[in-house]
Structure 1
Amino acid sequence: MKTDNPHIAILGAGESGVGSAILAQKQGFELWVSDNGKIKPDYKAELDQYNIPWEEGGHTFEKILTAQTIVKSPGIPDTADIVQQALNKGIEVISEIEFAGRYSNAFMIGITGSNGKTTTTMWTYQTLKIAGLNVGLGGNVGQSFARQVAMKNYDYYVIELSSFQLDGMKKFKCNIAVLLNITPDHLDRYDNNFESYIAAKFRITQNQTENDYLILNADDQVINEHLHFNKGKAQKLEFSTLTRPTKGAWLDNDKIIFNSINSEFDMIYTKLALEGKHNATNGMAAGIAADILRISKDNIRESLMTFSGVEHRLEPFISVRGVEFINDSKATNINSTWYALESMRKPVIWIVGGIDKGNDYSELDELVRQKVKSIVCLGTDNQKIKSFFKGKVDHITEAFSMKDAVAMAFDMGKKGDCVLLSPACASFDLFDNYEDRGNQFKMSVRAL
């Protein structure tokens, strides 16, 4: 099939970029894939398999800037020189989500938030699977959305959307949008302007009509303060652990109550598969989305009671001589780590650090004083963490490899303690990504 835009350039050759390339080829585009860094061998082999031309280690500007459309991987900032030159030439620059959405008529459930979006996305996906729906899982988790549009034929998609992916969306519409929370994160990508980051998150509501749904966290102060600027047309449902929304879900003593669109039902709060009030809100959001789709209350309850969680997110690992190790490598911002520390019931040796994204550690001050006995700083520059928490815990040390960090933490622990890897920072100073960081943590614990 030939298109109106004969030439597409794809920036970045990770999962998002390669998936976009496969879809572009299927749609008949002339295309060029360019990665400023090194492309992983598996992705090179896949591009070669499909006879898709590519380059690595730099961009050939003349090949890219002749494109009508550029599909940009989410990790590439708008400030990158090649992106700026493209925009100045009037070239359309979009995200993989926007590109793939142009070739799918499926029902779209989009989920965003500073924290909890992977858990909520996976939980919603599982609920739809249990109900027997033909559903794909994409965005920031699993295979790229574009790859699935190219190679599968799903009726529904549950898509985790980061602010970077939302930035590149133009016409993409969520039939159901979920906005979990907004706390300062990735401010280095938004000129340290929190308002710009908030606006990026609210882009999930753009293009929604009165036939669509917006599921919101009624307890989130930032969402409430900005909702009047982003009224939109979608029907709004809310979830809360503090209040009783008119339509949605809420916590009532020992029960979670659902009263959204199609049914009213409840379940015992303590039977929820994942502990903590933050997971109650994640489960409520997933349950509301499922109820909108007329999934039975029995299937919703089953999913909420059986979901096993997400790897690297408050993942109980193993105990070694009475010291429990918990892998929360996915906690790349302060708010995620706040939830992790809040849920701890044992004295904590806390492994923290990485690339600071403008963190305000004062938000953790009270919890650290209450729950943390020792801190192991893990990163190439630990000075900010050491300075802030000096005198607030029994001991602070630093490590420059995961193996050393785990060994130090274990030496500081005793039976009944837990070692919590919850970095509150990005991973790219010492690791490929948060998965690499979490896997190295587990490997180092096994080696004790």
Structure 2
Amino acid sequence: MARKIVILGAGESGVGSAVLAKSKAFDVFVSDFGEIDERYKKVLMDYQIPFEEKQHSEDIILSADEIIKSPGIPEKAPIISKLKEHNIPIVSEIEFAGRYSTAKMICITGSNGKTTTTLLLYHLLKRAGVNVGLAGNVGSSLAWQVAEKDFTHYVVELSSFQLDGMYDFKADIAILMNITPDHLDRYEYKMENYISSKFRIIQNLTVSDAFIFCCDDEIIQQQMTERSTPFQLYPFSVKQKLNNGGWLDNETLKIHYNEYNFSMDKKDLSLPGIHNIYNSLASGIAGSVLQIRKETIRESLSDFQGVNHRLEKVVKVRGIQFINDSKATNINSTWYALESMEEPVVWIVGGVDKGNDYTVLFDLVDEKVKGIVCLGIDNKKIHDAFDGKVANIVDANSMKEAVTKAYNIANKDGIVLLSPACASFDLFKNYEDRGNQFKEEVRNL
């Protein structure tokens, strides 16, 4: 009798898992506690995969041999607690997909910069002619691609939630960008739990595999002194010269990998800001490990177009530059955004706070911010942090109101920056919805 797999969540990840499980002749059932998007329903029906929505039928779910869980479902959800009581294994889509692919896996995680680095590296490998897929937190479901296309290489962005459900999966190249407080509401507000989750990226690495990591990050530095690392280490830094890995030498990016040496002028990078030097170094080292031609790496780092909703210039209105950084859902992302601004800023901030400590932004706000628009249902924490530190601090309950108030404060010069430092779920569907509404309201001015 076929083993029974139940998939919880019918988004891109869940439906992709269902397609792969069906192709491998499992008995598959998909359950979503919410409403399933029509396009995913159609796929499930086309593949003749039974599913349910707006409920979890416990009798069916608890009869599974294994569960594949969407990364969006928290560990504290009642159905997950029940499954644990019954000792039914729960894995992520990435763990499941990895069982059926022999492709090289280049996996990227970190609190910030992982999407840009993932897309930059994908761009680099495509340009080099590598047969590469884009998966994980961006791109299409890894499981779906393994079922229907299977590439020779994948660039996979991994969130901590995806890593939590991974056990035997192995990266060939693991990249860790940084670790700063984020999603602490999912980790019992314990930083050590979140750090452990991020470091799952190196589990199962072998002596021939590569670990690319930011050695400027104090948490990563500390962890590296405490962990066994029987694999190839390639650190990157903007603060110190390294013997191996990548670093910034005055105005020049340098990469040294075995006998391979690469250099590139900082001003030739397509993406501005110190955070993008980190992203470019990580991508360049991975390209070097994969033996991509230096010229291809240089071209890729100089013509990459960037990521939607990440420091995305929208338009100028009466001399005011509007910038959409809606993807900045934590303090560190917003720190990098403010750090890269060179004109006075009106900052739109707020949403669902994930345990933010705004004190780390005080110096940048003092130096660069002339007004704050608080966009959220509960703005008390932002007011507590910045009242008296910024001349203009106002509230808004909609994107239209936020854009109008920011425009009036900016008054013919400088920058209006949407960089919320918070999740979006109080007023918007997700950060994309928030960013798209921002762009629409700016264009309506």
Global fold match (TM > 0.5): yes
RMSD of aligned Cα (Å): 1.0
Q: Which residue of 2 aligns with 1:58?
A: 55
2:313–2:324 Cα contact (<8 Å) kept: yes
Q: Determine if contact 1:262/1:292 at 8 Å carries over to the other structure.
A: no
Contact 1:349 1:373 in 2 (8 A): yes
The list of structure 1 runs, each at least 4 consecutive aligned residues, that deviate by more than 2 angstroms after superposition, is 228-232
Match of 2:187 in 1: 190
Once the 2 structures are TM-superposed, how far is the Cα of residue 29 of structure 1 from its aligned partner?
1.0
Is residue 346 of structure 1 aligned with residue 343 of structure 2? yes
2:355 corresponds to which letter in structure 1? G
The one of 192, 207, 214 aligned to 2:204? 207
Deviation (angstroms), 1:433: 0.8
Whichever residue aligns with residue 440 of structure 2, its letter is M
Residue type at the aligned position of 1:378: L
Contact 2:175 2:213 in 1 (8 A): yes
Tell me, what secondary structure is at the counterpart of 1:362? helix
Q: What secondary structure does 2:254 align onto?
A: strand
- C-alpha separation between the residues in 2 aligned to 1:145 and 1:76? 18
Answer yes or no: is 1:165 the counterpart of 2:162: yes
Per the alignment, in what secondary structure is the counterpart of residue 298 of structure 1?
Answer: helix
Select which of 290, 293, 307 maps to 1:293.
290
| 8 Å Cα contact 1:218/1:245 also seen in 2 | no
TM-score, with length taken from structure 2: 0.98
The equivalent position to 1:114 in structure 2, one of 104, 107, 111, is 111
For residues 280 and 414 of structure 2, what CA distance do their matches in structure 1 show? 29
Matches within 5 A, 1:44-443: 44-261=41-258, 263-443=260-440
Q: Distance in 2 between matches of 1:353 and 1:277?
A: 24
Kindly indicate whether the alpha-carbon contact (under 8 Å) linking 1:262 and 1:291 is maintained by their aligned counterparts in 2: no
- TM-superposed CA distance for 1:262, in Å, is 5.0
Query: Structure 1 stretches of 5 or more lacking a match?
Result: none
In the alignment, residue 169 of structure 2 is paired with which amino acid?
F
Counterpart code for 2:98:
G
The whole-number CA distance in structure 1 between the counterparts of 2:35 and 2:239 is: 48
- Tell me the CA shift for residue 430 of structure 1: 1.0
8 Å CA contact 1:167–1:200 kept in 2: the answer is yes
Deviation at 1:380, TM superposition (A): 1.1
* C-alpha distance in structure 2 between counterparts of 1:38 and 1:369, whole Å: 45
- The code of the aligned residue for 1:58 comes to Q
Q: Which amino acid aligns with 1:25?
A: K
**Secondary structure of the structure 1 residue equivalent to 2:211:** strand
Aligned with 2:64: secondary structure? coil
In structure 1, give the amino acid aligned to 2:132. V
Q: Is the 8 A contact 1:274 1:309 kept in 2?
A: yes
Aligned mates of 1:34, 1:379 — CA distance in 2:
32
Larger deviation: 349-358 or 38-47?
A: 38-47
Percentage of matched positions with identical amino acids: 57
Distance 1:249 1:29 in 2: 45
Structure 2 portions without partners, runs of 5+: none
Distance 2:48 2:404 in 1: 47
Say if 2:212 and 2:233, in contact at 8 Å, map to a contact too.
yes
Letter in 1 for 2:16: G
On the 8 A contact 2:347/2:369 being kept in 1, the answer is: yes
Check whether the contact 1:206–1:232 (CA below 8 A) recurs between aligned residues: no
| CA distance, structure 2, for counterparts of residue 345 and residue 248 of structure 1 | 30
Aligned partner of residue 408 in structure 2, secondary structure:
helix
**Which of residues 9, 28, 31 is equivalent to 1:31?**
28
The CA distance in 2 between the partners of 1:121 and 1:304, in whole Å, is: 13
Which residue does 2:441 correspond to in 1? 444
Rounded to whole Å, the distance in 2 between the matches of 1:405 and 1:61 is 44
> What is the CA-CA distance between 1:403 and the residue it aligns to?
1.3
Q: Does the aligned pair in 1 maintain the 2:318–2:413 contact within 8 Å?
A: no
TM-score, length-normalised on structure 1?
0.98
Does the 8 Å CA contact 1:376/1:398 hold for their aligned counterparts? yes
